[in-house]
């Protein structure tokens, strides 16, 4: 529908502009000598354009957003009993195939028996519903455009403050743009809350937050065994925390020292080399880090630990050697270390800003007292910049908690409640990905659990971000 309506609206809008400009010119020419029109003819044209385009666009957007759900409800409400009796997931697939068949495309699945017979009738009905909605939408959009146009033309006269009106519209439009940010937040909160609440109806919040058993295998059929479904998220929180900790151990010192070196020691030349390198490191997609972790770092670490294990076996530390021999590619240490590399540029550029923000007079004062550079950094700059750096580290932590691809590719899937960096652990983000990829019902607690995890992740990172931004901002204003 969009592809039909948008060009149509564009054409109508241009016509309205031309007509509005012409009408304004004619009406202004009819004025008696000495009188002048308030606005230039173009502005009248824009006025007409806005009144044609905006109502039509609003109608189109409303139709676009709601036609999907409306069509779906219409189809679902009048579907034959046999379709209504299907499991929700299969029903969705059936409607999808009916739509495809109705559009003359091939269905995804083969529907047997009575369903196959029903499919064609449903396809025809789906086609009718979609046609009706599409043409209804187009008609409504044209009507809206026509009404807007009539209104605009009734308004055009030399005394109309067309420029002010047009600019008012532009201001409103710009405000609407920034309101999208709020709408996004509302959308995030609502979509997470809605599905989480459904999840928490099936699994109590306390079980979720304090349970130590995570195995989201829900029985899809009643006769399945061994899939009880336990949604205690503590092992995930522990895994996330462990990997975050390892990442910070790598990223914090390296990033901080790079920042100190770059802002205090480096010459313009080496700064000019290192800065772009760090920018490249920051621009590398996380999936590439994941690949690097899984295929390079993981095997290298395993070989290293297996080697140490082989040396220890038979000695006084035999048990530990045996353990090290069994270390696998996927472990918390690999994911954490690579994530630390990913965070280095983040930490260093934030700390760089903050160290640079410390006024030169403090450095000069310290040098005047005979302090060396390192003493100035340690005794003056770092204490002055400490709150800001703490804020930067908090931001890096929230990044590490929310990071997905590296852990998905390098940390493993087993939910172990452990603080041993050589074990495979799993994190909140990994579980969200595994719960939502692949075939599953949309309404089972298994899928909804992803939203519960997402809500937790959102709240925790939000809290960290707010605290970090507070700290960074209050600190920055200190010297202004």
Residues 217-276 that bind other proteins (CB under 8 A): 253-258, 260-262, 264-266, 274
Binder to other proteins among 7, 80, 88, 187 (CB under 8 A)? 187
Q: Shortest Cβ distance from residue 457 to other proteins (Å)?
A: 6
Residue 264: burial class (beta carbons within 10 Å; 0-12, 13-18, 19+): middle
**Alpha-carbon span 310 to 305, nearest angstrom:** 9
Residue 258 near residue 344, CB atoms below 8 Å: yes
Q: Of 277 and 311, which has the nearer Cβ to other proteins?
A: 277
Q: Of 245 and 317, which has the nearer Cβ to other proteins?
A: 245
Q: Shortest Cβ distance from residue 196 to other proteins (Å)?
A: 10
Output DSSP code: residue 432. H
Q: Of 138 and 293, which has the nearer Cβ to other proteins?
A: 293
Q: Shortest Cβ distance from residue 39 to other proteins (Å)?
A: 11
Compute the CA torsion angle 144, 147, 152, 155 (nearest 10 deg): -150
**Alpha-carbon span 247 to 234, nearest angstrom:** 20
Residue 120 near residue 77, CB atoms below 8 Å: no
Binder to other proteins among 104, 175, 368, 480 (CB under 8 A)? 175
Only segment of 55-63, 181-189, 197-205, 307-315 that touches other proteins (CB under 8 A): 181-189
Q: Shortest Cβ distance from residue 428 to other proteins (Å)?
A: 9
Residue 351 near residue 256, CB atoms below 8 Å: yes
Binder to other proteins among 137, 336, 402, 412 (CB under 8 A)? 402
Report CA 397 to chain centroid distance, whole Å: 17
When asked if residue 304 is in the footprint of other proteins (CB under 8 A), the reply is no
Site for other proteins in 57-86 (CB under 8 A): 65, 68-69, 71-72
Q: Which two three-digit tokens encode residue 432?
A: 């969200």
Q: Which two three-digit tokens encode residue 320?
A: 């530990």
Q: Which two three-digit tokens encode residue 231?
A: 């949604």
Dihedrals phi, psi of 231, to nearest 5 degrees: -120, 50
Binder to other proteins among 84, 159, 184, 227 (CB under 8 A)? 184
Q: Which two three-digit tokens encode residue 264?
A: 């205090």
Compute the CA torsion angle 330, 331, 335, 341 (nearest 10 deg): -110
Binder to other proteins among 49, 83, 350, 377 (CB under 8 A)? 377
Candidates 328, 326, 334; CA nearest to 292 is 334
Q: Of 210 and 265, which has the nearer Cβ to other proteins?
A: 265
Report CA 436 to chain centroid distance, whole Å: 15
Only segment of 14-22, 137-145, 190-198, 220-228 that touches other proteins (CB under 8 A): 190-198
Q: Shortest Cβ distance from residue 398 to other proteins (Å)?
A: 6
Q: Which two three-digit tokens encode residue 462?
A: 């939000």
Binder to other proteins among 27, 40, 91, 163 (CB under 8 A)? 163
For residue 277, count other CB atoms closer than 10 A to its CB.
Answer: 10
Binder to other proteins among 148, 321, 345, 421 (CB under 8 A)? 345
When asked if residue 469 is in the footprint of other proteins (CB under 8 A), the reply is yes
Only segment of 25-33, 224-232, 342-350, 414-422 that touches other proteins (CB under 8 A): 342-350
Q: Shortest Cβ distance from residue 366 to other proteins (Å)?
A: 13
Binder to other proteins among 120, 437, 474, 478 (CB under 8 A)? 437
Only segment of 50-58, 219-227, 337-345, 351-359 that touches other proteins (CB under 8 A): 337-345
Q: Of 198 and 418, which has the nearer Cβ to other proteins?
A: 198
Q: Shortest Cβ distance from residue 91 to other proteins (Å)?
A: 13
Output DSSP code: residue 215. E
When asked if residue 194 is in the footprint of other proteins (CB under 8 A), the reply is yes
Binder to other proteins among 404, 416, 418, 440 (CB under 8 A)? 404
Output DSSP code: residue 425. -
Site for other proteins in 274-293 (CB under 8 A): 274, 277-281, 283-292
Residue 141 near residue 9, CB atoms below 8 Å: yes
Specify the pairing of strand 230-231 against strand 214-215. antiparallel
Report CA 425 to chain centroid distance, whole Å: 24
Candidates 175, 148, 157, 123; CA nearest to 41 is 157
State whether residue 112 is helix, strand or coil. coil
When asked if residue 188 is in the footprint of other proteins (CB under 8 A), the reply is yes
Site for other proteins in 75-134 (CB under 8 A): none
Q: Which two three-digit tokens encode residue 218?
A: 């829900």
When asked if residue 327 is in the footprint of other proteins (CB under 8 A), the reply is no
Q: Of 96 and 215, which has the nearer Cβ to other proteins?
A: 96
Compute the CA torsion angle 293, 297, 298, 304 (nearest 10 deg): -170
When asked if residue 216 is in the footprint of other proteins (CB under 8 A), the reply is no
**Alpha-carbon span 67 to 90, nearest angstrom:** 22
Q: Of 253 and 307, which has the nearer Cβ to other proteins?
A: 253
Q: Of 194 and 304, which has the nearer Cβ to other proteins?
A: 194
Residues facing 214 on adjacent strands: 231
When asked if residue 395 is in the footprint of other proteins (CB under 8 A), the reply is yes
């Amino acid at each position: 529908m969009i592809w039909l309506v948008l060009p149509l609206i564009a054409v109508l809008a241009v016509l309205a502009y031309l007509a509005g400009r012409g009408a304004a010119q004619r009406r202004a020419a009819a004025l008696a000598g000495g009188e002048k029109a308030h606005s230039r003819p173009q502005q009248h044209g824009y006025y007409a354009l806005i009144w044609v385009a905006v109502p039509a666009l609003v109608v189109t957007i409303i139709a676009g957003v709601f036609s999907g759900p409306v069509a779906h409800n219409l189809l679902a409400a009048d579907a034959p009993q046999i379709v209504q009796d299907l499991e929700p997931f299969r029903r969705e697939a059936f409607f999808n195939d009916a739509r495809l068949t109705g559009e003359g495309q091939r269905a995804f699945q083969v529907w047997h028996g009575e369903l196959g017979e029903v499919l064609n009738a449903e396809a025809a009905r789906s086609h009718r519903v979609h046609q009706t909605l599409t043409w209804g939408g187009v008609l409504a959009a044209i009507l809206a455009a026509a009404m807007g146009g009539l209104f605009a033309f009734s308004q055009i006269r030399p005394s109309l403050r067309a420029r002010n009106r047009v600019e008012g519209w532009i201001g409103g439009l710009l405000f609407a743009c920034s309101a999208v940010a709020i709408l996004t937040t509302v959308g995030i909160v609502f979509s997470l809350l809605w599905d989480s609440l459904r999840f928490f109806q099936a699994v109590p919040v306390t079980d979720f937050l304090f349970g130590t058993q995570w195995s989201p295998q829900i029985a899809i059929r009643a006769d399945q065994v061994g899939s009880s479904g336990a949604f205690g998220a503590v092992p995930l929180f522990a895994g996330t925390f462990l990997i975050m900790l390892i990442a910070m151990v790598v990223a914090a010192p390296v990033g901080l020292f790079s920042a100190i070196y770059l802002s205090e020691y480096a010459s313009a030349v080496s700064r000019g080399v290192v800065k772009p390198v760090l920018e490249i490191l920051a621009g590398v997609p996380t999936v590439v880090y994941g690949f690097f972790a899984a295929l390079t770092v993981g095997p290298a670490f395993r070989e290293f630990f297996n080697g140490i294990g082989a040396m220890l076996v038979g000695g006084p530390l035999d048990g530990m050697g045996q353990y090290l021999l069994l270390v696998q590619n996927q472990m918390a240490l690999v994911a954490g270390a690579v994530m630390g590399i990913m965070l280095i540029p983040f930490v260093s550029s934030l700390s760089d800003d903050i160290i640079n923000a410390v006024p030169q007079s403090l450095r000069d004062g310290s040098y005047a007292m005979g302090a060396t550079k390192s003493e100035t950094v340690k005794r003056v700059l770092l204490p002055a910049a400490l709150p800001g750096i703490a804020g930067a580290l908090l931001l890096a932590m929230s990044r590490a908690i929310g990071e997905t691809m590296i852990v998905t590719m390098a940390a493993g899937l087993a939910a172990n409640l452990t603080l041993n960096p050589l074990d495979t652990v799993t994190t909140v983000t990994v579980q969200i990905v595994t719960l939502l990829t692949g075939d599953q019902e949309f309404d089972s607690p298994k899928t909804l659990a992803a939203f519960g995890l997402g809500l937790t992740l959102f709240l925790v990172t939000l809290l960290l971000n707010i605290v970090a931004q507070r700290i960074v901002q209050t600190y920055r204003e200190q010297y202004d």
